[in-house]
Structure 1
Amino acid sequence: MIEIGHTPAKRLVTIRVSGKLTSKEYDTAVPEIEQAIEQSDGKLNAVVELDDMRGWDIAALWKDLKFDARHFDDFRRIAVVGASGGEKLSSKAAGALTSADVEFFLRDQVDKAEDWAAAD
């Protein structure tokens, strides 16, 4: 499942991902994220919360890679919030797919992640 939140005043989008991400869910979320990108004044900031994420189907992965390529320069900061070392490693790898600064935060640091992502 994907849940999207948007705080235009902070140029911040929050993306909460749980379970296994499907192509259909991805298709629903992408327009919301792209709308937030269009509404931002400059680059958008993001907080991605991984809540028991169990991967994605191959079609969703492919769509994610295409999204990353299209929006390589559209994000300024991306805070990834998770619990495991694997999620931290994944966030490091994701940094290669964007020009944004990417940082990993533990689940109990959500407020800190949001502050970091939205800071000037």
Structure 2
Amino acid sequence: MSKITHGLNIGLERHGEDIFLSLKIIGTLTHQDYQRITPILESAICGLDHPKVNVLIDADELTGWELRAAWDDLKLGLKHNNDFGKIAIYGHKSWQEVMAKIANWFISGEAKYFDDKNSALTWLFD
């Protein structure tokens, strides 16, 4: 059995103007991943006056970003910064905590790092 070196699972729930987006990333986040994520998010918020997007990023198996994917992330954050409510980043690496702090510069909501997935979910739905 071979080890998975890359994977992306996307989940989306919409309740009125509230949207819950969950991402599970394995390996390196790529430009192709953003080509999948972006249309799903934009389709979910299309036509909403005041969407509130809460996001769980399960980065426990994330090993890094391609440079182009980092650019895609910045563009997505700038374009939809007012749409994000809370972003919970779950993982076990110190650079992921730094990633959450940097995300706060580009969104109107709040990004926070957690080393416990249940705590991340509790915070998102509080």
- TM-score strictly above 0.5: yes
Which runs of no fewer than 5 residues in structure 1 stay unpaired? none
Q: How does 1:1-120 map to 2 (within 5 A)?
A: 1-9=7-15, 11-38=19-46, 42-106=51-115, 109-119=116-126
Counterpart of 2:14 in structure 1: which amino acid? P
Alpha-carbon spacing, 1:36–1:99, altered in 2? closer, same or farther (3 Å): same
> How many Å separate the matches in 2 of 1:51 and 1:30?
21
SS of match in other structure, 2:82 = coil
Cα distance, 1:73 vs. partner?
0.6
Asked whether the equivalents of residues 3 and 29 of structure 1 are also in contact (C-alpha less than 8 Å), the reply is no
Asked whether the equivalents of residues 2 and 29 of structure 1 are also in contact (C-alpha less than 8 Å), the reply is no
Q: Percent identity?
A: 27
> How many Å separate the matches in 1 of 2:78 and 2:105?
11
> How many Å separate the matches in 2 of 1:89 and 1:60?
17
Cα distance, 1:98 vs. partner?
0.7
Which runs of no fewer than 5 residues in structure 2 stay unpaired? 1-6
Higher-Rg member (1/2): 2
Alpha-carbon spacing, 1:74–1:51, altered in 2? closer, same or farther (3 Å): same
CA RMSD in angstroms, aligned pairs only: 1.9
Asked whether the equivalents of residues 36 and 44 of structure 1 are also in contact (C-alpha less than 8 Å), the reply is no
Higher helix fraction (1 or 2): 1
Q: Which runs of 4+ in 1 moved over 6 A?
A: none
> How many Å separate the matches in 2 of 1:89 and 1:79?
13
